[in-house]
Amino acid sequence: MRRTISTLLVPLVLGLSAYSTVAQTRKRSDIGGTRSILIAQYMARTGSEALLITDRKRIDELVRLFRNNEAVPHACGYHWIIWFRQSATNAVPFAHNEDCQVYRLYDTELHAVLNSYFSSILKSPKYYVVDVTVPASLSPEDVVTKLESPNQQVFFFNPTDERLPHITIAAKAISKMPVSRGQRDAAEARNLRNAKQQLAIAIRSITSTYTGAKASPPDHRSSRSGGGEIEDTVQSTISFSNTTDPTRIAIPESVRVIERTMPDSYIVQLVVDQPFSPMLCSTLTSKYPFVVHVRAFGDFER
């Protein structure tokens, strides 16, 4: 799927874990213009059975219920993920827990509507999701053009930038452990602020050198204490044009490289009207010679 040139900490991973941090309290004011909706199993549920909604009335109903809505935070995990697809390469996800989810608006109505969809997926599925591996040289737009048909639709559960050469860099800030326990939060906040500042300077240096380079938002990866010190680390992944060699990118000394990766392929999700089978796999790879591999969604052993 990709060639990792160096790995010092946790690498960026394709698959379910790549989108497991869906923001649940973000207001969904950006789902207008939704053209289709996909409801798929997620985390606690691992089947490939799904539901693709293309009926305008049903789409508008879910958009109305989710738009400008938010869920009360919880720590229960999730069973489903709902994708609002605005365009061929852009869809907004919202994860849902069957038991713990409480919505600020339309809670009772939302659960009733969603439960009816969940029930139909589990009892009489009409759609299925398969993971399709394609060459990194093939743009997301080309993947859609080549793979989509009246009976199948492409979704990108992972950021499309993952197909591009990228590096992950981290900045670390260390401060003395405060004598007063009550001052620890303030010390950690200063650490985080300093680490983010170091990371931002390094990102500006790199992205100003390479045209088209894009960085992900800073991610607070770790916080630890010991030996009289508090240490916080933030990191960001920077993607480049597909002609860039990540081994040749100069990195400022203020940060360290976690990973340099040159992907040779990436995974997209294809919604089809039949379950995964060897016959389906053979049909897809024969019809689309550029397809590297096909497996049932979430089945990492096939």
143 with 177, same domain: the answer is no
> Token pair 């400008």 is at which residue?
68
Once rounded to an integer, what is the mean pLDDT over residues 165-170?
Answer: 96
**249 lies in some domain:** no
Q: Are residues 219 and 286 in the same domain?
A: no
Q: What pLDDT was estimated at residue 300?
A: 60
Q: Is the pLDDT of residue 126 over 50?
A: yes
Same domain, 113 and 129: yes
Q: Which domain holds residue 153?
A: 2-162+264-296
In a domain, 197, yes or no: yes
Q: pLDDT at residue 189 above 50?
A: yes
Same-domain check for residues 152 and 200? no
Domain shared by 78 and 130, yes or no: yes
Residue 25 binned pLDDT confidence (cut-offs 50, 70, 90): very low
- The string of pLDDT tens digits covering residues 215-262 is 999 998 888 888 888 899 999 999 999 889 999 999 999 999 999 999
Considering the domain architecture, whether residues 140 and 29 belong to the same structural domain is answered as: yes
Does residue 96 sit in the same domain as residue 115?
A: yes
- Quick: pLDDT tens for 28-64: 568 989 999 999 999 999 999 999 999 999 999 999 9
Q: Answer yes or no: do 117 and 200 share one domain.
A: no
Q: Judge if 191 and 138 occupy the same domain.
A: no
> Does the residue 254 lie in any domain?
no
pLDDT average, residue stretch 100-119: 97
What pLDDT, on a 0 to 100 scale, did the predictor assign at position 6? 29
Is 214 a residue whose pLDDT tops 80? yes
Asked whether residue 94 is assigned to any structural domain, the reply reads yes
Per-residue pLDDT at 16: 38
pLDDT digits (tens, 9 = 90+) for 58-73: 999 999 999 999 999 9
Whether 116 and 62 share a structural domain:
yes
Helix or strand (DSSP H, E) at 122: helix 107-123
Cα dihedral 14, 161, 148, 122, rounded to 10, equals 40
Q: Specify if 279 maps to a domain.
A: yes
**pLDDT of 145 above 50:** yes
Helix (H, G, I), strand (E, B) or coil at 124: coil
274 φ, ψ (degrees, to nearest 5)? -150, 150
Tell me whether residue 278 is exposed, middle or buried, using C-beta atoms within 10 angstroms of its C-beta: 0 to 12, 13 to 18, 19 or more. Answer: exposed
Question: Going by DSSP bridges, is the β-strand pair 80-87/127-135 parallel, antiparallel, or unpaired?
Answer: unpaired
In this structure, the answer to whether residues 219 and 95 fall within a common structural domain is no
| Long-range interactions of 171-174: CB distance < 8 A, separation 24+ | 171/195, 171/196, 171/198, 171/199, 171/202, 171/233, 171/234, 171/235, 171/254, 171/255, 172/231, 172/232, 172/233, 172/256, 173/198, 173/231, 173/232, 174/229, 174/230, 174/231
Q: Rounded mean pLDDT of the chain?
A: 88
pLDDT of residue 7: 27
